A = this chain, B = another copy of it.
């Protein structure tokens, strides 16, 4: 998506060959017009699919998931991050290994909001090694929900999470796909 790529080139900050900061327009400060445009793009890309609900993960996925939910005319649901395993039986949970934060955490959704046979589109801001995405897919699997696909704003393709997940059969629509990046040479899109 040209609009997003141009914005990343203009306002994104490459901190290292692995870390891209987009917190001036996606992650901390949010440009709602850009998010709405991205939502419209997923609506177009997934127009051939039944989508009953948008699933995302707190916190930075929530904004873009809300606009996508509005575009599809369905509810959004965000998985919560919990630090304890002390959860009631009324939730689905998955363990996620965060490489950025260097720790593991659990994510959860209440069982009553994810149903068997429900068609789910997963939305998130970043896809890198795919750990959070695998957690969200796992929550859907536990519920017997059907994952139609995923939409991510930015895929760091060189970290292979997307390729691995596609090889396992997950459809992923990344609106900006980064082939490589470095502080010296900037960003190269796929």
Contact = CB atoms under 8 A, between A and B. Distances in A.
A76 B112 CA distance: 30
Interface string A5-26: 0000000000000000001110
B30 A59 contact: no
A77 interface: yes
Contact of A78 (B30, B31, B67, B76): B30
B35 A59 contact: no
Contact of A63 (B28, B62, B109, B112): B62
A113 B32 CA distance: 15
A29 interface: yes
Contacts of A33: 70, 73
A69 B32 contact: yes
Given A63-B62, A66-B66, A76 B24 contact: no
Nearest to A62: B62
Contact of A109 (B28, B36, B65): B28
A29 B113 contact: yes
A13 B78 CA distance: 19
A59 B80 contact: yes
A110 B28 contact: yes
B70 A36 contact: yes
18 contacts: A23-B113, A24-B113, A28-B77, A28-B78, A28-B109, A28-B113, A29-B77, A29-B113, A30-B69, A32-B66, A32-B69, A33-B73, A36-B70, A58-B58, A59-B62, A59-B78, A63-B63, A66-B66
Given A30-B65, A30-B75, 20 more contacts: A24-B112, A25-B75, A28-B78, A28-B110, A29-B75, A29-B77, A29-B110, A29-B113, A30-B66, A31-B75, A32-B67, A32-B69, A32-B75, A32-B76, A33-B70, A33-B73, A35-B66, A59-B59, A62-B66, A63-B63
